[in-house]
Structure 1
């Protein structure tokens, strides 16, 4: 390996550190890797977080599913979500790999060691105070790979030395109906995404929709269309407000049951409840 290649790799690490990658918290946090740093097959996504107020960089659809669970208002114990978190300094993981007699991950082009990352470092609160949870996302089909297990062992040992709870999350731990609903509600919590005409009328629309849905024979889409007609809105306005009400938990529903607009919507509670989705999977 040429000295130029070694300088190039160490230079990339130094550049990311100088940019503040892997540093900060909440809105000021910058992930070590962004969607532009990693080759994509159309699976990477940038998404604005409700809890941090910043754009998150997610490198797989599995990461997106888990993120939506963490960022949902019902996961009220989650205070901060830091994706693509670096295991730095790199000397620590190099020492761990050497101790375990496991090859450290390298850049395939330069052959130089790279900074390892954990998909999510989650900050949660509980009765015992603030805790950090490190979570790695991986399809269950990949768990049979010896190399995957080797890298997991480096990662697990790193977090063990930091006193941080580390774990693996696969698609088996992610409720598909819940995530399907969260995907359909993605961004609906942000009032800026509502039709402008609806924003000052949210309370009126909510009352009209709730009254209509009290008739259990009326499906959600019909209640929304009727509401649009009565209030003189374009079709789709009241349905957008209904999704906003669900996403902000003004309407509390069972998100483990698929939301079907062709069916009546069963509202459990009007207003904010206290149900919490635990992220410790």
Structure 2
């Protein structure tokens, strides 16, 4: 934790007053942020940009990988990390995007009471306030029918689930979303293989860190599937560079973005190395490698 920085009722009130947790798209402000004025996270923090024109604040290596999995989903309208949960009754979170949604949803205080759990608190001497619980990633998705839906994702390392209090807090969070009809996933590293996460980390600089390639270019690259399957990464990049008159960096971006979107369904479990061959698989099997896309969860209660 950064020297002198503590979570206090005053700090939480300040964050609420300056609009943290509000907004959508480029205007959204995460509740927890990677700044000098914020208490640090336990793990390694990351700041990155993506398609919404703002910095995304991720508080661990695990959150980074989960963010990458989430970014691969088709129809992503918005991605809000470190999303704060309301204490009291409120409009369902989907109402932010769908004016036809009405009614009242339960807040964390009522849910904690009903489950028989103590709501987490922030303290500093005699000053006490309710802690603001958060969900690591909240996705807004537009499906093929044009309907908007939310998908909430929390990331935890497996050993964290051994703590009874951690499981209680996750239960509150799960109920918060479940009662709004929102799917909530608890992701731990045992839901995907290490080789897949390694491939994801290698591909991120060419996808999340770059402008989107033209859709026609991605489609034309994907049409080369039969020529790329079994070729080494170096041979594949040479082919793409030659076919589309691209430099190596641009060819890597096009190749990885075609993979990222599932249009070029790569076996991510194979080693990513210039001398290793690409192995293409079915689209269904490709998405099964992604625990967010396949809706896998480590939650059991």
**For residues 97-116 of structure 1, what are the structure 2 equivalents within 5 Å?**
97-107=112-122, 109-110=124-125, 112=128, 113-116=130-133
Shift in alpha-carbon separation, 1:245–1:100, aligned structure 2, 3 A:
same
Give 1:245's aligned residue: 254
Give 1:158's aligned residue: 176
Give 1:84's aligned residue: 82
Deviates more, 1:240-249 or 1:91-100: 91-100
User: Is 1:69–1:279's contact at 8 Å kept on the other side of the alignment?
Assistant: no
Give 1:182's aligned residue: 200
Shift in alpha-carbon separation, 1:260–1:16, aligned structure 2, 3 A:
same
Instruction: Quote the Cα distance in structure 1 between the aligned partners of 2:175 and 2:229.
Output: 57
1:148 offset after TM fit, Å?
Answer: 1.0
**For residues 92-241 of structure 1, what are the structure 2 equivalents within 5 Å?**
92-107=107-122, 109-110=124-125, 112=128, 113-126=130-143, 127=145, 129-189=147-207, 219-221=232-234, 238=248, 240-241=249-250
User: Is 1:97–1:104's contact at 8 Å kept on the other side of the alignment?
Assistant: yes
2:274 is the counterpart of 1:261: yes
User: Is 2:193–2:269's contact at 8 Å kept on the other side of the alignment?
Assistant: no
Give 1:5's aligned residue: none
Instruction: Quote the Cα distance in structure 2 between the aligned partners of 1:133 and 1:172.
Output: 20
User: Is 1:190–1:244's contact at 8 Å kept on the other side of the alignment?
Assistant: no
SS in 1 for 2:275: coil
Tell me the alpha carbon deviations over residues 207-250 of structure 1, each in whole angstroms, 9 at most, x when there is no partner. 9xx8xx8796x74447868999xxxx9xxx62x23321222218
1:14 offset after TM fit, Å?
Answer: 3.2
Query: Which structure has the highest helix share of the two?
Result: 1
With the length of structure 2 as denominator, give the TM-score of the two structures: 0.67
| Residue segments in structure 1 that go unaligned for 5+ positions in a row | 1-7, 194-198, 269-274
1:185 offset after TM fit, Å?
Answer: 1.8
1:69 offset after TM fit, Å?
Answer: 1.0
Give RMSD over aligned pairs.
4.1
| Residue segments in structure 2 that go unaligned for 5+ positions in a row | 1-6, 90-106, 297-301
1:61 offset after TM fit, Å?
Answer: 1.2
